[in-house]
Amino acid sequence: MEAVKTQDVSVNDLSWKIEYHADRCTMCGSCVATCSFKAIEVKTQAQSIVVSTDSQPNPEHRHIARPIITQKASLTDYCRGCGMCEKVCPNNAIRPVRNVDTRQVLLSKDSGPIKRGGRTNLNAQRTLDSIVVGRISQMTDPSLDSARHTFDIRSPLGRVLSPKELPFRLENGKMVMDHKAPPVNWIYPLIFSDMSIGALSTRAWEAVALACAYLNEKCGLPVRMSSGEGGMPVKLMESDYLKYFILQIASGHFGWNRIIKAIPHMVTDPAGVLIKIGQGAKPGDGGLLPAAKVAEHVQAIRGVPKATLSSPPNHQGLYSIEESVQKMHLSLNAAFGFRVPVAIKCAASATSVSVYNNLLRDPYKICGGFFLDGIQGGTGAANEVSLDHTGHPVVSKIRDCYNAAVKQGLQGQIPLYGGGGIGLTGNAAADAFKMICLGANGVFVGKVLIQLLGCVGNEHGRCNSCNTGKCPMGICTQDPRLVKRLDVDKGAQKIVDYVLAFDAELRKLMAPIGNSSLPVGRSDALVSTDKAIADKLGIQYVC
C-alpha cells in the first residue's frame, strides 16, 4: 500500500472535481494544453480489462498501461471549474463538477490569506428581484409605445446647481448665462466601470473601449467608460476618442504621470474624472495588481517595475471628506480648467449618507457625482475574506442617500450612480431601472462586460482566478498565449448588442409607467413582494 498521511491533499478536498470518461477520450491532448491552471495532466494508468475481439465471444483478460487524464491533487495547481477542458474536448470526455464536500477554503491558507478575483460568494442575495415595476399606466394615463415614442434616456454627470444658484441674467427678456456654471455632461445612464489595463488584458480593455466608441459613433448612445486605475495609452489620450472616457485616479495614482504629461496634447476633454476612494468588492482595501500581471506594457503605462502593485487603502494626505473636496476635487478640476466634472467613487458603507451629505453641503459645489459600489461588485484581485465578509449592499444605500438629499431639498445636485451586482442575473436593464426609480441617476457595470467577453466566473466559486494572471479566457491576464484566445471584435460586438438590448429593455420598462424621461426617484413606480424590503425602501408592499 502507498504511504498516505491524513494531511495529504486529495482530489476530493478540492472545490472542483474532473469527471473524465476514458472510454470517450481520443487522447488528443487538447484539454491538457488548454488548461491554464495546469490542473490536469496526462498519466499512465495500469488497467485490467476483459476484451473479446473474435466474431464469437472469446473473452480475454489483459493487463495494459494506458495514458489517461487525471486531476492534480494540489492546492496550487487546482481546477477552478472554468470548463475550458470541456469546451475544447471534441468527444465530451471531460468536464469539471462542483464538489460539495470541498475542504479547500479550510486547507488553502498555508501561504497566508486566500487571494482571488471575481466577487463575493456569500452575499449574492438579490434585493432587486423582490421588486417589480408595479405602477402601470392603466386608464389613469396612457402607457407609451416603446417603439414609437421618443425616449430621453440621459443622466447628468457633474455638479448640478440649485435653481436659485443658476447664474442667469436677463437680457431683452431672455435669460443668458452670466458666468460659467460647473460642467455637467449628459451621458447614457450605463457607465462602463473602471477596469484597468493591467487588471484586464490589452485585448479585453480594447474590446470594451471599442464597444464604447461604437455605441457613441454608430448607435448614438453616449456611453462613457472609466479607464480604471492605471492610465490609458497616450495615443488614445491624444485622440478625439478621449471624450468617451472617464479618467480614474485611485490611491496609487498609477498612470497619472503620463496623463498629466498628455494634458497639453489633448485635443478634447475627457468625459470626467473619477476619484476612487474605494470599491465594493474589497472596501477599505487598496488596489492590487499581482506581479504576474505586470507585463511590459503595464510597466510602461504605469511607469513601474515588475512587482506586485498595491495601492494604499487611502489617498495619502487625505484625512477627511472636506479635505478631499479641497485638495483632490479642486486640483483635478483645476487640471482640466474646470471644464471636466470630477466625481468620486466609494464603497457603499454604513457611513455613505454622511459622506454624501458632506459633499452636498460643500461650499465649492465641486463634486460632480457620487458613485456607490456595493458588496456584489467585482475585482481583479482581493483577499477572499474581504470579498466575502466586508462591504455593504448598494440598493438600500442608494435609496438612503437619495432620501437624505430629498430631506434637504438637494436631490439631483450630486448625481448618484450605483454599481456592484448590477446585471448579476443577466438583466442589467431591469436592475438599472429599479435603481433609477429608487433615486440613482444611473448605474455602472464591470463584471457584466467581461462576462460578455467570455468570463465564466460567478458568485458560486467558479473560476474567479482573475488574480492569477492565468485567465483561461484571455481577459484578465497578460500572458500573450492566453490573450490570443480573445477575439477583440467579437467581444466588442457582444457588448454592443447587449447595450442595444439594454436600451430597448429600458424603454420597455419606461413605456408602461408612461414616462419618456428617466423616472429618477419615482419610487411610486415600484412595489415589493417582500415586506421588509418595502419598508426599508419606502415602497408599496404587495402580495
Partner 1 sequence: MCRIGSIKSKVPVHPSKALHLMLPQQEGHDNSGFAMVMQDLYGTFANYKDKPLLSMACTQKGNQMVEEYMDAHNFVQLAEWIPIPDKRPGLDIQAMPYYVFRNYDFPEHYNELSEEEKQNLLLDTRLALRKMLEEAGEGFVYSFWPDVLTLKEIGDPRDIATYFHLWDDHGGLMAKNIVVQCRQNTNYDIVRYAAHPFFLQGYTLCANGENTFYTKNKEFQKSLHRGYIGFESDSQCFLYTLHYVLHELKWPINYFKHVITPLPFEEIEEREDKEVLKAIRQSLAHLEINGPNTIIATLPDNRMITCCDSKKLRPVVLGQDENMIAISSEVCGLNEIMPDRDREKDIYPNEREVIVIDNELEVQRWKQ
For partner 1, which is the closer residue by CB, 313 or 412? 412
Binding partner 1 (rule: CB under 8 A), the pick from 52, 91, 308, 517 is 517
Question: Rule CB under 8 A: is residue 523 a binding residue for partner 1?
Answer: yes
Binding partner 1 (rule: CB under 8 A), the pick from 51, 175, 267, 385 is 175
Question: Rule CB under 8 A: is residue 55 a binding residue for partner 1?
Answer: no
Contact between 276 and 419 (Cβ < 8 Å): no
208: which 3 cell numbers? 470594451
25 is in an annotated binding site: yes
31 is in an annotated binding site: yes
The widest CA-to-CA distance across the chain, in whole angstroms, is 109
Give me the half-sphere count of Cα atoms (radius 13 Å) on the Cβ side of residue 41: 10
Question: Rule CB under 8 A: is residue 150 a binding residue for partner 1?
Answer: yes
For partner 1, which is the closer residue by CB, 220 or 363? 220
Within residues 376-415, the interface with partner 1 by CB under 8 A covers 406-409, 411-412
At its nearest, how many Å lie between partner 1 and the CB of residue 186?
Answer: 6
At its nearest, how many Å lie between partner 1 and the CB of residue 325?
Answer: 21
The window from 10-18, 136-144, 257-265, 391-399 that contacts partner 1 (CB under 8 A) reads 136-144
The binding track of 409-448 with respect to partner 1, each residue x by CB under 8 A or -, is x-xx------------------------------------
289: which 3 cell numbers? 495588481
Report the alpha-carbon distance of residue 153 to residue 524 in Å, rounded: 19
CA 77 to chain centroid, in Å, comes to 26
Within residues 179-238, the interface with partner 1 by CB under 8 A covers 181, 184, 186
Report the alpha-carbon distance of residue 88 to residue 77 in Å, rounded: 20
Question: Rule CB under 8 A: is residue 152 a binding residue for partner 1?
Answer: yes
89 is in an annotated binding site: no
CA 61 to chain centroid, in Å, comes to 57
Binding partner 1 (rule: CB under 8 A), the pick from 34, 134, 168, 269 is 168
The binding track of 85-124 with respect to partner 1, each residue x by CB under 8 A or -, is ----------------------------------------
Question: Rule CB under 8 A: is residue 177 a binding residue for partner 1?
Answer: yes
Of 205, 192, 161, the C-alpha closest to 341 is: 161
Question: Rule CB under 8 A: is residue 156 a binding residue for partner 1?
Answer: yes
Contact between 496 and 219 (Cβ < 8 Å): yes
Report the alpha-carbon distance of residue 58 to residue 66 in Å, rounded: 22
Report the alpha-carbon distance of residue 357 to residue 340 in Å, rounded: 22
At its nearest, how many Å lie between partner 1 and the CB of residue 269?
Answer: 16
Of 226, 272, 228, 251, the C-alpha closest to 444 is: 226
Of 492, 493, 450, 490, the C-alpha closest to 472 is: 450
Binding partner 1 (rule: CB under 8 A), the pick from 29, 67, 90, 142 is 142
Question: Rule CB under 8 A: is residue 514 a binding residue for partner 1?
Answer: yes
Question: Rule CB under 8 A: is residue 164 a binding residue for partner 1?
Answer: yes
346 is in an annotated binding site: no
The window from 27-35, 116-124, 165-173, 275-283 that contacts partner 1 (CB under 8 A) reads 165-173
- The total number of residues shown for the chain amounts to 543
Of 342, 403, 400, 330, the C-alpha closest to 369 is: 342
Question: Rule CB under 8 A: is residue 339 a binding residue for partner 1?
Answer: no
56: which 3 cell numbers? 464469437
Contacts of 492 (CB under 8 A, 6+ apart): 207, 208, 210, 211, 214
Between the alpha carbon of residue 113 and those of residues 109, 164, 467, 484, the distances in Å are 6, 54, 13, 31
At residue 408, φ and ψ (nearest 5 deg) are -100, 0
Q: Which residues are annotated as a binding site for [4Fe-4S] cluster?
A: 25, 28, 31, 35
Contacts with partner 1 by CB under 8 A lie at 137, 140-142, 144, 149-150, 152, 154, 156, 160-166, 168, 170, 173-177, 181, 184, 186, 406-409, 411-412, 513-517, 519-524
